[in-house]
Chain A
Amino acid sequence: MKVTEYSEEKLRASSQYKLLVSQLKARGSELNTMSLTNDYIKQKLTEKFGDQVTGFEEPYGMLTFEAPKEMNLKVLNFLNDDPELKFRFLTDLCGVHYPDNKGRELATVYHLHNLEDNVRIRFKVFTDINKPDDYTATGLFSAANWMERETYDFYGINFVGHPNLKRILNVDEMDYFPMRKEYPLEDQSRIDKDDEMFGRGGSLGFGTEKTDHGTLIESDKKNVGEEIV
């Protein structure tokens, strides 16, 4: 590669910055008259899927809806391929755990963005915690790969067809899904931990003072679960 010639050309090309604010403002004013409103998206979806897409809401202006878990790829594909909808950018994918929703405890939440018309929507799929199977969106969005791994890592949602579904942020040996609601965070006031650097018991002599339950060191030696919970 001859650097001098190549780079000259490239420099010229890449230094052509475009003035976009005014264009975008103009585009924004067009937008208001355009038809891609939440109502229109809702209408398109119900035309295509009938009563299988449900739960239409607009919290803080963002259209939100849900579909059965078998339908998630069909809906994503439709949103992606439809020449008017064009939701082709996967902004975010994450899980939420609702332990009280029996039979549909785990939600997978997709945030999709139509960059051309600048419209965002939120799409949810609920699964049973005993059989948390979704279809993977990696075929559509390369970005979904790690986001699905993260969701699997924290919520145990199994994305069927994912090329490499293993833990990403936690250690591989972990045998539970820590973001589920059955794992509450530690009570900040517990005193049973052998944590000498933070003055809670330990070999340095902190916490050896007598309390109603004996010394803290003694309670350390007992079974922690029995003693405290």
Chain B
Amino acid sequence: MSETHIRLPEGSIEKTTTTLNLGPTHPATHGVMQNILELDGERIVSTEQTIGYIHRAFEKIAERRPLYQITPLTDRLNYCSSPLNNMGWHLTCEKLLGVKTPKRVDYLRIIIMELARISDHLICNSIVGVDSGAYTGFLYVMQYRELIYEIYEEICGSRLTTNIGRIGGFERNFNDIAFQKIEKFLKEYPGVQREFENLFTRNRIFMERTIGAGPISAERALNYGFTGPNLRAAGVDYDVRTQNPYSSYEDFDFKVPVGTTGDCYDRFLVRNEEIWQSLSLVEQAYKKVKEFKGADAEVYHADVPEYYLPDKKDVYTKMEALIWHFKIIMGEIDMPVGEVYNSVEGANGEVGFYFVSDGGRTPYRLHFRRPCFIYYQAYEELTKGAMLSDAIIVMSSLNLIAGEMDA
């Protein structure tokens, strides 16, 4: 050791790597999570993830709540696409209770779910841009995500944590303004998406940053429990919408895009293509909804008096409606005994609900399968040997949502 070196204490071993704490509240993590990176220069030797900073014990809270009070908890899992979680939860309850929804409800749900998927993928892809230094795309598409939020607002009154729908259907029928807004979105959005893709897909800098960053093979992705666009980018065509169709997805025609290498660029391309597919699904569903005429066009919920809140005007004038209203609000309805696992294709992958009922008024046990939580384990494998800047871009292209991870 030359004299220019700092003298180390006797017997100590010189550490050749740097430890870097990325997070818990680092702007590049887009959520509260921590990565402890061990760096050799700018290369990542190992990473360790710490999560749980916004753990809110939803599974425990759900054990004390009647079904309709659990919907707002699901909002806060993946808060970029809450309607998808809401619908997943309603579908799980409906499966347990044996409720069959009318076709029109299914189609309306598909409109909402696919809009949510678009808004989630839009955030993810534009954030990949932000993390590679291209802020423009993000700012540009944000105003069009606003159109989607306006549609939610028209239907349920809220924007981000939507609490949309009920067991059996929706709380009210879609009004004309909602349909006009959907039409407006369908008309305006394709141009925006093309512009967004023009900005990124063949952008040389973007390609250099994302191609080969954080790749994963199909085999490893399956072993790690990947689902959704991240799995499809690795080349596996698994999509809950086609494998176990729910909410009448079998009536629709759409493609499942797949990538080959599972790197950031493939994930980006798969998400972009899924946006196009979702747009086409919204359009198809919209057409199908418009085919309902007369009394059929007034159907927006199934007939389940035990779980579907009656109309307010009936509550004030009819005895039976008043009784049901009271029983539902006070959570005084016993559920059937059973256990059910139901999953929907969330924006990040398979959002599953494992629901154990012992015949009481609240779930005996409710477990959320959160895709984020499961695939974030692979982060170390994805970033080992990569550069620090790749670590950031891998994180955003996996679309890590802290709320979904920590439940």
Give chain A's interface residues, CB within 8 Å of chain B.
1, 3, 6-7, 10, 13-15, 17-21, 24-25, 59-60, 62, 64, 88-92, 94, 96-97, 109, 111, 115, 118, 120, 122, 141-143, 145-147, 150, 154, 167-171, 178-179, 185
Shortest beta-carbon distance from A133 to chain B in Å:
21
**Cβ–Cβ contact B64 & A91, under 8 A:** no
A158 to B258, CA, bound (A): 38
Contact of B354 among A7, A111, A168 (CB under 8 A): A111
B377–A169 CB distance below 8 A: no
Q: List 6 A-B contacts (CB under 8 A).
A: A3-B208, A10-B261, A59-B340, A91-B350, A92-B341, A167-B52
- CB atoms of B257 and A17 under 8 A apart: yes
Tell me whether A21 and B255 are in contact (CB under 8 A): yes
Q: In the complex, which residues of chain B have a beta carbon less than 8 angstroms from the beta carbon of A24? A: 242-243
Identity of the chain B residue whose Cβ is nearest the Cβ of A120 in the assembled complex: B341
Residues on B with C-beta less than 8 A from A90 are 225
Closest to B254 in A: A21
A62 touches B341 (CB 8 A): yes
The answer to whether B190 has its CB under 8 Å from any CB of chain A is no
Contacting pair B207 A3 (CB below 8 A): yes
Knowing A15-B269, A185-B63, the reply to whether A6 touches B211 (Cβ < 8 A) is: yes
Most chain B beta-carbon neighbours within 10 Å: one of A19, A143, A154, A179: A143
Contact across chains for A91 and B238 when beta carbons are under 8 A apart: no
A20 CA to B369 CA, complexed, in Å: 25
Interface residues of chain A: helix, strand, loop or mixed (majority): mixed
Across the interface, do B211 and A3 meet the contact criterion of CB distance under 8 Å?
yes
Once bound together, how far apart are the Cα atoms of A169 and B58, in whole Å? 12
Contact A1 B51 (CB under 8 A): no
B203-224 interface bits toward A, Cβ cutoff 8 Å, 1 = contact, 0 = none: 0100110011000000010111
B255 touching A18 by the CB < 8 A rule? yes
Q: Is the CB of B350 within 8 A of A21?
A: no
B256 with A18: CB separation less than 8 A? yes
Which 5 A-B pairs give the minimum distances between C-beta atoms?
A: A143-B225, A169-B52, A94-B367, A169-B55, A17-B257
Known contacts A7-B211, A17-B257, A142-B378, A115 near B222 by CB under 8 Å? yes
Residue from the list B64, B238, B354 in contact with A94, Cβ < 8 A = B354
Chain B contacts for A178, CB-based, 8 A: 57, 60
- A96 vs chain B, min Cβ distance (A): 5
Q: Which of B222, B239, B376 contacts A89 (CB 8 A)?
A: B222
